[in-house]
Structure 1
Amino acid sequence: MGLLDRLSGRKARDEPQVPESVAVPEPVPSLPSTSPHSHALRDVSPNSTLLASAALSAPQGRLYNPYEGLAAQVGTTKHVFRLPDGPEFVFEEEASVRRRDWTQHLQFYCGGGYLAGGVVGVATGLYKFAFDKPEIVTDTLKLKTNRLLNTAGSFARPFSNSCGILGLYFSGFESLFVYQLEPYGLPDNVSTLLAGFASGALFRLPRGPRQAMVAGVVGVVGAGGITALRKLFPTL
C-alpha cells in the first residue's frame, strides 16, 4: 500500500509531518583534533608547528639525530631526539640518593685499600730486589725468580692487610658520623676528617696513646687528601 499511496499522491498516515518553518540543521564538518595525544602515532616532521611548541615546553637537553649524514643514503625522514643532560632514574628514591650506603662504602674502601696496599707492597719488593744484592750471588733464573717472588710477597702481604683494615675502619667511622651527626648540621668534609683521625688512632692504639695520636694526625692528612680528590672524582 505504501507504493500505491506514493503513486497516487497520498501521504502515509504514519509519516511524521515536518513543519516548513523548522529548518533541519546541517551536519557540521568535524575538525581535526588538536589534542597532543592525537599526534602521538603520527609521523610528523620536526619543522611542524606542533613540534616547535612542544620543544619550547620540553626540558632543555642535547639534540641528537641518529640519521645524521645518512638520511640521503637510507632515504628516511629526519628525526631529532632531545637527550637529557643529567642521568634519569626510574624511581624517585634513587634520584634523591647522594652517596653510597654503608655496605657499598665498606666494600669500596676495604677492597680498594687492600688492592692499593698490594700494589705498593709489590712495588717495594721490586725496588728491594733491584737494588739490594744478596750475600750469595745466584746466577740461575729459577733462583732469581724465587727470590723475586719471596721479596715481593713479604712486602705485599702486610701492606695489603694493613690498608684493608684501614679502609674497613675508615668506611665504618665515616658512615657512622655521617648518619649520626648529619641531622645536627655537620658537613660531610668534617665527618671524613673525623673518620680519618679515628681510623688512624684505632689502628695504632695497641702501641700506646702517643702512637695512636700520631697515627690519628696522619689519618686526618689522608682523609684531607680523600676530600680533595672527591672534588675531582665525586664517586670516590
Structure 2
Amino acid sequence: MGLLDRLSGRKAREEPQVPEPTAPAPEPVPSLPSTSPHSDALRDVSPNNTLLASATMTAPQGRLYNPYEGLTAQVGPTKHVFRLPEGPEFVFEEEASVRRRDWTQHLQFYCGGGYLAGGVVGVACGLYKFAVDKPEIVTDTLKLKTNRLLNTTGSFARPFSNSCGILGLYFSGFESLYVYQLEQYGLPDSVSTLLAGFTSGALFRLPRGPRQAVVAGAVGVAAAGGITALRKVFPSL
C-alpha cells in the first residue's frame, strides 16, 4: 500500500508512535570512604592524645626494647621502642587457660626423664666402682680396662634406668588420676602430687612385703615434696 499511495499522490497515514517505557533512574549509592593508599592525605592521621593516654594506661606492663640500642651514632635518634611482654603470649585462648600438661605429655616427660636420670646415676656409680676396685690381674691392658669399665657402668646403669623409668611411669599416671579425681573438691595440686609419690613408692616395693611398701611410700612422699618445691622455681616440672 505504501507504493500505491506514492503513485497516487496520497500521503501515507502516520501511525501513532508508542513511547518506549523509560527505565527508572538508579538510586544514588551512598559514598563509601576511600581505601586507596592516597586517602590518608585527605584526613588527619595525627594520633589522638586522649586515646593515646587511655591506651598507655591500659597497656600491659613489660620491658622496653630498643632494637637500635648502641647504634645511635649510625642510625640517628631512636625511631621506635617495643614493649616486650613479661609472660608468654598465646595465639588461642585455650592454650592460655591450660595450667598443666595432659596425661600423655606427663607420661612421656616423667617416664623418659626418670629413665635418663637413672642412667646418669648408674653410670656415675659404675665409674666410682671402677676407680675404687683394683683388678685381680696385674697385667691389665687397655682393652681389658675398657671392657671392665663398660661392664661395670652397664651393670649399674641398667637397673637404675629401668627402676627410675618405672617409678616415673607410676608417678605420672597416678598424679594425672588424682588431679582428675580431686580437682572437683577444690584440693590443691600438691595434695595429688604427694599422694602420687606415696602410691608409686608403695606399689614399686609391694612385692617385697607390706613393711617395705610403707617405707618406700614414705620415701616417695619425700621425693614428691621435693618435686612440689622445685615446681615453684621451675613451673615446667
Is residue 131 from structure 1 mapped to residue 132 from structure 2 by the alignment?
yes
The one-letter code of the counterpart of 2:105 is Q
Is residue 89 from structure 1 mapped to residue 124 from structure 2 by the alignment?
no
Task: Report how many residues are paired.
Answer: 195
> Structure 1 pair 55/208, CA: closer, same or farther in 2 (3 Å)?
same
Identity of aligned residues (%): 85
Q: Secondary structure at the match of 2:100?
A: coil
The one-letter code of the counterpart of 2:161 is S
The one-letter code of the counterpart of 1:67 is Y
Q: How does 1:101-120 map to 2 (within 5 A)?
A: 101-120=102-121
Task: For 2:210 and 2:71, locate their aligned partners in 1 and report how far apart those are by CA, in whole Å.
Answer: 72
Task: For 1:68 and 1:158, locate their aligned partners in 2 and report how far apart those are by CA, in whole Å.
Answer: 54
Please identify the structure whose Cα radius of gyration is greater: 2
Shift of 1:136: 2.5
| 1:10 match | none
> Structure 1 pair 141/77, CA: closer, same or farther in 2 (3 Å)?
closer
Shift of 1:138: 3.9
| 2:226 match | 225
Tell me whether 166-175 or 135-144 shows the greater mean CA deviation.
135-144
| Gap regions ≥5 residues in structure 2 | 1-41
| Gap regions ≥5 residues in structure 1 | 1-31
Shift of 1:186: 1.7
Shift of 1:201: 0.8
C-alpha deviations, 1:79-104, integer Å up to 9, x for none? 12222221111000111111111111
> Structure 1 pair 226/143, CA: closer, same or farther in 2 (3 Å)?
same
Q: TM-score, normalised by structure 1?
A: 0.76
8 Å CA contact 1:65–1:80 kept in 2: the answer is yes
Q: TM-score, normalised by structure 2?
A: 0.76
Is residue 201 from structure 1 mapped to residue 202 from structure 2 by the alignment?
yes
What RMSD over aligned residues (CA atoms) do the two structures have, in Å?
A: 2.1
> Structure 1 pair 77/223, CA: closer, same or farther in 2 (3 Å)?
closer
Tell me whether 149-158 or 70-79 shows the greater mean CA deviation.
70-79
